[in-house]
Chains A and B, each alone.
Chain A
């Protein structure tokens, strides 16, 4: 049985640079704050220090969640999970390029 609820006029906030605190990143990853701290110290996650406290870019959230998932899924070393996340980004970028090339060839 499904109920439909329509919510209009919803306040929404666009999150850009320096959008998240360490605690928010940790919560989104289902990890403790120390997990985020260790990954920043290891150079796996990038931190924005402009405001004097640790803040994280909106796009870092996607990367952090992916690394957390890889570590949990495969008991992966953080550096190996980061390397895999980098390669996934590269694959996605190359697939988009390939889609453009394929589209033009099909024309």
Chain B
């Protein structure tokens, strides 16, 4: 396990005030928030930032962490193991119940596993929470949109940490088989009862809640139960209309394109979105694709078109 330099992660000095820590955290949280950041490692960086903030913004945890950092064995990059009673004289509450991801380093020092260890070694406060239900875990599961049309079964790997009999953090990797029913939507959750953190004092464990999201796909996208798909038309289909067999999610459909295409025009195939009691609709977004003009004959066809439309101006003046 590597020693984590939380000051370096937040980019602050060891003498930083609480206000300095808060400012640095917020600035970096904006940069690495996984919902908006374009940085490839945004999620991992955000976990580090949250941990660093959880420690450095709390006076008790920060004091214990500084005490540990001042001891000679704690150097970045080296295999690190906290000495027994590294936190003697400090008190802080368990923060692992917030359902957030934590590194092994954080879990060993401040997490739920560490709390159990402290209770064992000091006759600590486990009895103060005799029936504490285990916290729920939250994770995302990425599916293909087609899984929502057909249903599927997935094996997912999840990591969790526990303390072994010597008080060390042990990572366990669980493989879970999850049945995905037909009709699932993005943002829905799958609850795996009892697969969260263990409870204490005989209380039940928490649950694992898997949030469903769909993999980005250049062919189609879902919005709720409705699905959107781009369909390319040739210029003559766009102008004169036509009929064609189109591959859609879950099969094929015979589609009639009306004459007179306009930008942004959509065709709705009722009930061909994500299936369910009230199935969604499929919207075909119609686009024109120009045929290439590689040969003389093809270029001549474009030239003939230009002659046929002498008054056509694709760039009319604004206000004209």
Chain B residue with Cβ nearest A5: B174
How far, in angstroms, from A103 to B98 measured CA to CA in the complex? 39
> Contact residue range for chain A?
35 or more
CB distance from B252 to the nearest CB of A (A): 20
**Per-residue interface assignment for chain B, residues 154 to 180, with 1 indicating a CB less than 8 Å from any chain A CB and 0 otherwise:** 000000000000000011111111110
How far, in angstroms, from A67 to B98 measured CA to CA in the complex? 15
A104 at the interface (CB under 8 A from B): yes
Chain B residue with Cβ nearest A99: B216
Chain A residue with Cβ nearest B220: A100
How far, in angstroms, from A34 to B219 measured CA to CA in the complex? 44
B175:A12 contact, CB within 8 angstroms: no
B175:A4 contact, CB within 8 angstroms: yes
A13:B190 contact, CB within 8 angstroms: yes
Chain A residue with Cβ nearest B276: A16
What's the count of A-B pairs with C-beta under 8 Å?
Answer: 111
Tell me if B's interface is mostly helix, strand, loop or mixed: strand
Contacts of B195 in A (CB 8 A): 7, 10
How far, in angstroms, from A15 to B35 measured CA to CA in the complex? 23
Chain A residue with Cβ nearest B206: A27
| 8 A Cβ contacts from A22-67 to B | 27-28, 30, 58-59, 61-62, 65-66
Contacts of A88 in B (CB 8 A): 35-36
Chain A residue with Cβ nearest B223: A93
Chain B residue with Cβ nearest A93: B223
Evaluate whether A104 and B232 lie within 8 angstroms (CB atoms) in the complex, with A14-B184, A91-B36, A92-B35 already known: yes
**Per-residue interface assignment for chain B, residues 122 to 145, with 1 indicating a CB less than 8 Å from any chain A CB and 0 otherwise:** 000000000000001010000000
A2:B172 contact, CB within 8 angstroms: yes
The 8 Å CB contact of A7, one of B177, B219, B230, is B177
